[in-house]
Chain A
């Protein structure tokens, strides 16, 4: 009888052990609290209600099951704990599902955003191309207008020079004013000099980039020093007359060369007349006049 009892006891102990193995992990009210918090957390996220309503609903129902089991059998009941655990996990699933959906819709937005950027880039490129074309056309028109202006300018210049009987030399345009400007031995301009001087002054006023060098020459009659001084005075007189007509003094230079650089032989009256002269050298656009090579008397 005693042996039987012990045997029975051993068997029932095994059964009891088996029974205790039925219990899930630590069973306490903590799991239920966790579940309530997890469901509340998911409910607070508008993305969860929007993207994972099914999962959220299942979490709620599982929580209700857990609450019910806890009410019937106590919060430490293993069934209550089980449902509480399921509710917690389901609430987390609903959140992850919402995260995934949010990310996916963001990806879709990004795709159209990319299309937009590319479209705008293409548009701005097209606009740029149009602007470039317009600018190029504008430049071409300007260049053409400038060319026309320069042509007209050089024609006018040529006409004016022709009127002044100018000649193109290696030093620039040279105007030669004969001996009609001065009386013999004098350095005062005669009335007849007014017109060519006015023409030169107005030419210089129209072409502010140019300057002139007024060069005086005599024939070989008289002393060398006297002639040099006379030619300088005459050049000065012409320069002064030009300056008085509104041309800046630094654009007008006067040089007397006396008998030097004769045009003709000085052996007769005709050739001497050619040598008595005032030359006006007009600079090129740069305003420079190359110096006269001192070759001396021939």
Chain B
């Protein structure tokens, strides 16, 4: 009977702990909101095109955070929301960096063309210089 009681007590303890750990803390609604905003920022930065993997991870984490919040699992919701936020930030900055780098590539190509054209014009000067005509 001692064993049964012991198990019972332990179980009660576990239940109590579970409630304390998962349900008693207030829901991290602000963290969820921050994560949601971060995902939206990433979307606006065209992460869907330039950082698809990172954005998908962020969206999944946000969904997991929301699901945990729905189940009143504040700890998991908070951690998932935090992770969703950094994932979204990474998606945003990766997308921004890639777009800027693309602009640099385009600019370099433009500069190359411009330089070539300038060189052609200066080396082709002889073509437009009046030449003494043979009599």
- Interface set of A (CB-CB < 8 Å, partner B): 5, 8-9, 11-12, 15-16, 18-19, 21-22, 24, 78, 82, 85-86, 89-90, 92-93, 96-97, 99-100, 103-104, 106-107, 110, 113-114, 117-118, 120-121, 124-125, 128, 131-132, 135-136, 139
Q: How many residues of B contact A (CB 8 A)?
A: 47
- Distance in angstroms between the alpha carbons of A20 and B32 in the assembled complex: 22
Contacts A110-B107, A124-B121; A92 near B90 (Cβ below 8 A): yes
- Distance in angstroms between the alpha carbons of A8 and B15 in the assembled complex: 10
By beta carbon, the residue of chain A nearest B86 is A89
Write out the residue numbers on chain A whose beta carbons fall within 8 Å of the beta carbon of B43.
none
Contacts A82-B83, A135-B130; A19 near B97 (Cβ below 8 A): no
- CB distance A18 to B73 under 8 Å? yes
Contact of B15 among A11, A89, A125, A136 (CB under 8 A): A11
- Interface set of B (CB-CB < 8 Å, partner A): 4, 8, 11-12, 14-15, 17-19, 21-22, 68, 71, 73, 75-76, 79-80, 82-83, 86-87, 89-90, 93-94, 96-97, 100-101, 103-104, 107-108, 110-111, 114-115, 117-118, 121-122, 125, 128-130, 132
Write out the residue numbers on chain A whose beta carbons fall within 8 Å of the beta carbon of B82.
82, 86
Write out the residue numbers on chain B whose beta carbons fall within 8 Å of the beta carbon of A97.
93, 97
- CB distance B104 to A106 under 8 Å? yes
- CB distance A100 to B130 under 8 Å? no
Cβ of B8 to closest chain A Cβ, rounded Å? 6
Cβ of B5 to closest chain A Cβ, rounded Å? 10
Write out the residue numbers on chain B whose beta carbons fall within 8 Å of the beta carbon of A131.
125, 129
- Distance in angstroms between the alpha carbons of A121 and B122 in the assembled complex: 8
Cβ of A259 to closest chain B Cβ, rounded Å? 43
- Distance in angstroms between the alpha carbons of A103 and B18 in the assembled complex: 50
Write out the residue numbers on chain B whose beta carbons fall within 8 Å of the beta carbon of A86.
82-83, 86
- CB distance B118 to A16 under 8 Å? no
- CB distance B89 to A19 under 8 Å? no
| Additional 7 contacts, C-beta under 8 A, given A96-B93, A114-B111, A124-B121 | A11-B11, A22-B21, A78-B79, A85-B83, A96-B90, A99-B100, A124-B122
- CB distance A136 to B8 under 8 Å? no
- CB distance A24 to B101 under 8 Å? no
- Distance in angstroms between the alpha carbons of A46 and B100 in the assembled complex: 19
- CB distance A19 to B79 under 8 Å? no
- Distance in angstroms between the alpha carbons of A190 and B4 in the assembled complex: 166
Contacts A19-B14, A124-B121, A132-B129; A100 near B21 (Cβ below 8 A): no
Contact of B76 among A9, A22, A136 (CB under 8 A): A22
Contact of A110 among B96, B111, B128 (CB under 8 A): B111
Contacts A18-B22, A107-B103, A114-B114; A24 near B108 (Cβ below 8 A): no
Contact of B100 among A21, A103, A114, A121 (CB under 8 A): A103
